[in-house]
Amino acid sequence: MPQPPSPFLGLQHIGLKVHDIEAALDFYVGKLGFTVTEIPPPGRVPGAAFGLAFLRCTGLHHDVSLFFWRRWECPASEVNT
């Protein structure tokens, strides 16, 4: 006999690519009540023009990671394909 589905308990450790970090932070923090736990300084990955924001809604360090790309700064000849 099939078992009934388990109740939905939530989501954890979700990574999302966003185009507008300010709008995403306004939504997750301002509207949904998440807390920003960390926004690492830019430049941690040489040659990559992206940023990262960690948000939480539980006791974990982060439940959602927001990745945002400003533009690609490496010349095409340096990009591994």
Instruction: Answer whether residue 80 shows pLDDT above 50.
Output: no
Reduced to 3 states (helix: H, G, I; strand: E, B; else coil), residue 17 is: strand
CA proximity to 67, closest of 50, 42, 45, 48? 50
Check residues 68 and 72 and name the one with the higher pLDDT.
Answer: 68
Query: In this structure, how many other beta carbons lie within 10 angstroms of the beta carbon of residue 53?
Result: 23
User: What residue spans define the domains of the chain?
Assistant: 14-74
Average pLDDT, the chain: 78
- Output the six-digit token pair for 11: 């989501």
Q: What is the pTM of this model?
A: 0.65
Q: Give tens-digit pLDDT for 18-57.
A: 988 899 999 999 999 999 998 887 666 566 667 888 998 8
Structurally, at CATH architecture level, domain 14-74 sits in Roll (3.10)
**Which pLDDT score, from 0 to 100, does residue 35 have?**
92
pLDDT bucket at 79, cuts 50 / 70 / 90: very low
Q: Can you say whether the dihedral through the CA atoms of 78, 79, 80, 81 is positive or negative?
A: negative
